[in-house]
Structure 1
Amino acid sequence: MAKSKKNNKSSRKNIQNTPKRAGDKFSVEGYRNRIITFVRKSGKKPISPKELAAKCRSIRGCESNYNLAVSELIQDGIICQRKRGFVSCEALGFFKAEIVRLNRTFGFMKRCDNEEEIFVPGKFLCGAMPGDTVLAHYIPSRSDGPEGEVLDILKAADSKLTGIIIEEDGQKFFLADTMSRTPVKIENSDIPYKTGDKVMAEICRAGRRHRDHKVRILFTFGSAQSAQCCAQALLAVNGIETEFGEDVKKEAARIAAAGVWPDDYKNRLDLRKLPIFTIDSAESKDLDDAVSIERTENGYILGVHIADVSHYVKGNSHLDKSALDRGTSIYYADKVIPMLPKELSNGICSLNPNEDRLTFSAIMHITKNGELQDFKFSKSVICSKVKGIYSEINTILDNTASDEIKEKYKELTPSIEIMNELADIRIANRKKRGAPEIETSESKIILNDDHICIDIKPRTRGKSEMIIEEFMLLANESAAKLAAEKEIPFVYRIHEEPAPEKIETLKESLNRLNVQVPVFSSVKPVHLSEILENAKDKECYPVVNMITLRSMAKAKYDTDPIGHFGLALDDYAHFTSPIRRYPDLAIHRILSDVIDNADSEWLSKRYSGFAQKASEHSTAMEIRAANIERDCEDCYKAEYMQNHIGDEFEGIISSVTDFGFYVELENTVEGLVHINTLPEGYYEYDGYFSIKDEYSDRAFCAGNKVKIICAKADVNSGKIDFELA
């Protein structure tokens, strides 16, 4: 008994002298809660560091927890330290924000709690850079919008930034892309760079004002008027790894060297004799989907066969961790930054013609009316008969195919005709269920052998593209239905209904455009379809299409199957592109266990955290990739237009602002006609779609056709200026 008492005493002593677990009053969380309570009770009256420590009963052995709690609360913008002590930020009207962009004399920050964008005069920026998290407060505004002042930088963003080298009075300066008009002094001179170079720099000395910063040049990409160099800089500043790590390369090489063996075919459907083929663009090398079709007495059997990437990329392998980190492949101009090494993406996982490939097949039974009746998912092995090309199959469908193309597809022509028949039925069904047909313009960037942009064309969408889109939608819907039925952790592709305030703005905008708005209390997809239909024959249709698109929420990945508003579907996921999208690879892994009859409880334990992480991270990576692709494309468009300075074009006014209006050309290039370049007059912006001269009644409205001259094109910023012809 004595021994037992001694052990208990020893245990009590150890507990008292060690930091407590989360939830105990001496843990970091415990200290945080007490600090917040005492500081908020004090209101605007500061609490001295000594008094606060006493109130929180900071004890020996737990000082580090107390100090960490204080530091976290300051960094979180909950408390701040003034001259006389700690004060609640809320009591003083302080808030946390992120600097989003800067100019020479001002900047903008976005509140972290409600995303309100706030104007910040240059003298109140406190030297903050884009991406910095700051403590700020409101100041009296000199305009209609909110205005604020940065009080402190809570967390500095990555100190690396891109920009160009300029020269003033014989001295070279760095002009950051995020501070387009503030020259910064350069500290080092050991890197060979020239005036006009696009460079990567690092802030080595931060000042209280932007002009007091000093940078070190890390390396140069080349000329800032080369789109290729600017694209490389965009990748670098966004942390995009263009090469794979050695461990990833080794895994990929080992998988590629092993190849496909007959042993891999065990427990798989052998579909190698079926007329299966891929349909993609001519330049595509990562072919991850193939199709087959059969007409039956009751309708159709449609097969969508997807590269079985999860067979090769195992969970927690180096390949898997790298793929999750990247989230998606990035495409721009003639470049691809793949999610997976080319040994997989263009090799063993790509459904190349006349090669046996392991696949994950969705076999779907479709009624004569085009309704999804039943489906089954199976591991399979296929041998694609041909690499189908969109443009070639389009000529077959419109009866303009050459003899050479007819010969290439002669064994598959019956399948192509049946696919076309089913796609027509499915497209009609999509319209019936009210899915809005919103048009988006995509560009095809054409480069010469020196990687310089020599042409830009709108990317056309023919019937074969529509066929594949419909079939991929069916496979994606089937995958989501299966997961929803099983109630298992999953990565869904969701699209929420538009926010009420967005719909009210849309209604008001449509009324100004004299477009009939259907009556509804709760918006449904069919209502947006009706709006687009009502505007179809009007000059303002491109504008209606644009504002309808902007009223909608952004699609994202989520574990909650709330459906897809834009497609008017209750169940939807991304199953068909595991070579280039991580969510597809993630659900392949989950569905592989489902078709192996894994227990639901086991699936839940194994994949709940994984699905949540994959959803959140993949959404963030998708947004990052889209922004990079857009910015790279802008650089190439500016490079192309540099060779057309002074040339005349016709375009449509795509949007109007208080400083001018944007014009989109037929080739998808968009440029700004600044208000200062318009014929003399007093122009007023109506806040929506037009600017009007008060004296002459001259007006420029969204949707109007105008003739312009290309006045300026800056590759570095991707910005193009037009003037009226």
Structure 2
Amino acid sequence: MLNLDALSQLKSLKQDIHESIPRHEGKVRATGGRYGFVNTDDNQQFFLNPDEMDKVLAGDIIAFRVEETKEGKSQAVIETLISSAQDEFVGQYIVKGKGHFISPDHPTFNRWVFVPPAQRKGAKDGDLVGCKISQHPYPHGKVQAQVLEVIGQSSDRQIESNMMMRKWDIAGDFSEHCVNEAQALLSVMDEATTTEARNDLTAVNWLTIDSAMSRDLDDALYCEKTASGWNLQVAIADPSCAVKPDSEIDKEALRRGTSSYFIDNMVPMLPSALSEGAFSLLPEQVRPAMVCHLEISEQGEITKYRIESALIESKAKLSYVQVAAFLEGVTSDLVDQIAEPIKPVLSVLNECALALNGYRRQNNLVLNDRTEFKATLNDEGKVDQIIPLERNLAHKLVEECMVAVNRSVANFLAEKEHGLFIQHAGIRSERQGEARALIKEQLQLT
């Protein structure tokens, strides 16, 4: 029998061995296979073999130790689950014999999830469902899910957009409270637009360029030639003059973040009475807007900008096809429909856009244009074919104007050290070496 001194020494030895093994905390990153990785805050990455990966889900924060395999390679061994990010997800319901499972619609959640009898909610084989994790796989590797709702069958009309809305938690219809609040705003629009001092720019020949059927027009353009280049003006619809902070509409807009566009429908950020009516920059309607004035040099450099609250009145609602035909010199009924005072504005806008693009390409790292695609639907609302979508001169014109104003507003916010920003997680640790090499190559660093 060991005496107390020996037991104490043995305990101390075990503690020393325990402390000598490297331990870390990190986030689990899944792959297309059964294995995965765990990334630490100091950009270290450790391998998770399939058995360890079965115990966790992508995004989990874990505590782990590092051990060497027989081949002398380092791998992570999970010690504790700290937190889990995976909760709700969507997928297809699968019945195999007596087993009921969900195949997740997720690029790295690539295992079937068992659904216990009491948590199936009447789902049938082939149904597309929304569900949540009811039993985390840690520590035994047996994950379970509960069906929250049956979204529909893959043959249903609009099932693709319904599935995406559920997958990304995109709200559909507005609440009755929001709709009523939007209707109430319509009666106070005149008062709301005059409460704040706004520069009257309604005499300017503003124009909008969008899809022919669009009614949610949120930006308008104007440009004139100057002795040193161009004076470009971009107006952005300003609902903040009437939508009050912490109102129901404000909270819902914050939750939605943006309007979401699908192949067969659109989910607006604001109720249609506002987004397609009271705040849309429709022709011959006075609207509140934030206007960015940009001075552009002959070389296409933005030399000065200022931002102001204004009232504007669009003089023309134009389509991309219509503007492209005009710029290409095509003779057509669409071109004939453009009012004569608007045509010189379009020509000057195009000259300015070409200069802006030239300056960007000469002085910045600009990605090459990539082909975009458009899906067309058949009578059943299913994808019939996918065709290349060519960006015409009108698309490029609008793009350059919006990039210019976005850069200017970004500089404005940086100067104020305040504002809303999109935060990106950054370059994945396994791609940072390639990123450094690209930067060195492009900037000719040694």
Structure 1 CA distance for aligned equivalents of residues 432 and 50 of structure 2 = 35
Other-structure match for 2:94: 166
Matched, 1:353 2:283: yes
Find 2:217's aligned residue among 283, 287, 302. 287
Paired residue type of 1:123: D
Other-structure match for 1:135: 63
Other-structure match for 1:45: 15
Between the two proteins, the alignment pairs up a number of residues equal to 430
Contact 2:323 2:394 in 1 (8 A): yes
Matched, 1:459 2:429: no
Structure 2 CA distance for aligned equivalents of residues 461 and 244 of structure 1 = 33
Pairing 1:134-533 to 2, within 5 Å after superposition: 134-141=62-69, 147-169=75-97, 171-177=99-105, 179-182=109-112, 184-188=114-118, 191-206=121-136, 212-224=142-154, 228-245=158-175, 247-260=177-190, 264=194, 267-483=197-413, 487-491=416-420, 501-503=433-435, 505-506=437-438, 520-521=444-445
Residues 276 and 98 (structure 1), Cα distance of their counterparts in 2 relative to 1, 3 Å cut: same
Paired residue type of 2:256: R
Secondary structure in structure 2 of the residue aligned to 1:424: helix
Contact 2:21 2:66 in 1 (8 A): no
Structure 2 CA distance for aligned equivalents of residues 230 and 147 of structure 1 = 40
Matched, 1:98 2:68: no
Q: Tell me which moved more, 171-180 or 413-422.
A: 171-180
Residues 484 and 388 (structure 1), Cα distance of their counterparts in 2 relative to 1, 3 Å cut: same
C-alpha RMSD over aligned residues: 3.8
Structure 2 CA distance for aligned equivalents of residues 496 and 214 of structure 1 = 29
Residues 500 and 173 (structure 1), Cα distance of their counterparts in 2 relative to 1, 3 Å cut: closer
Secondary structure in structure 2 of the residue aligned to 1:385: strand
Structure 2 CA distance for aligned equivalents of residues 400 and 478 of structure 1 = 34
* Cα deviation, residue 440, structure 1: 2.9
Paired residue type of 2:445: S
Residues 160 and 472 (structure 1), Cα distance of their counterparts in 2 relative to 1, 3 Å cut: closer
Structure 1 CA distance for aligned equivalents of residues 100 and 344 of structure 2 = 67
Structure 2 CA distance for aligned equivalents of residues 262 and 131 of structure 1 = 45
* Cα deviation, residue 382, structure 1: 1.5
Secondary structure in structure 1 of the residue aligned to 2:375: strand
Other-structure match for 2:9: none
Residues 254 and 146 (structure 1), Cα distance of their counterparts in 2 relative to 1, 3 Å cut: farther
* Cα deviation, residue 235, structure 1: 3.4
Secondary structure in structure 2 of the residue aligned to 1:277: strand
* Cα deviation, residue 362, structure 1: 1.8
Residues 472 and 172 (structure 1), Cα distance of their counterparts in 2 relative to 1, 3 Å cut: closer
- Larger helix fraction of residues: 1
Q: Tell me which moved more, 205-214 or 304-313.
A: 205-214
Structure 2 CA distance for aligned equivalents of residues 344 and 466 of structure 1 = 28
- 1:150-186 per-position Cα deviation (integer Å, ceiling 9, x unaligned): 2332223454332222232354433334553435143
Paired residue type of 2:418: P
Find 1:122's aligned residue among 50, 59, 64. 50
Residues 360 and 102 (structure 1), Cα distance of their counterparts in 2 relative to 1, 3 Å cut: closer
Secondary structure in structure 1 of the residue aligned to 2:337: helix
Structure 2 CA distance for aligned equivalents of residues 262 and 217 of structure 1 = 46
Residues 171 and 494 (structure 1), Cα distance of their counterparts in 2 relative to 1, 3 Å cut: closer
Identity of aligned residues (%): 25
Secondary structure in structure 1 of the residue aligned to 2:216: coil
Paired residue type of 1:475: V
Contact 2:238 2:288 in 1 (8 A): yes
Residues 519 and 464 (structure 1), Cα distance of their counterparts in 2 relative to 1, 3 Å cut: closer
Secondary structure in structure 1 of the residue aligned to 2:326: helix
Secondary structure in structure 2 of the residue aligned to 1:384: strand
- 1:543-600 per-position Cα deviation (integer Å, ceiling 9, x unaligned): xxxxxxxxxxxxxxxxxxxxxxxxxxxxxxxxxxxxxxxxxxxxxxxxxxxxxxxxxx
Unaligned segments of structure 1, at least 5 residues: 1-41, 47-86, 509-516, 523-725
TM-score between the two structures when normalised by the length of structure 1: 0.52
* Cα deviation, residue 276, structure 1: 0.7
Other-structure match for 1:110: 38
Contact 1:251 1:318 in 2 (8 A): yes
Secondary structure in structure 1 of the residue aligned to 2:371: coil
Structure 2 CA distance for aligned equivalents of residues 189 and 299 of structure 1 = 67
Unaligned segments of structure 2, at least 5 residues: 1-11
Secondary structure in structure 2 of the residue aligned to 1:375: strand
* Cα deviation, residue 352, structure 1: 1.6
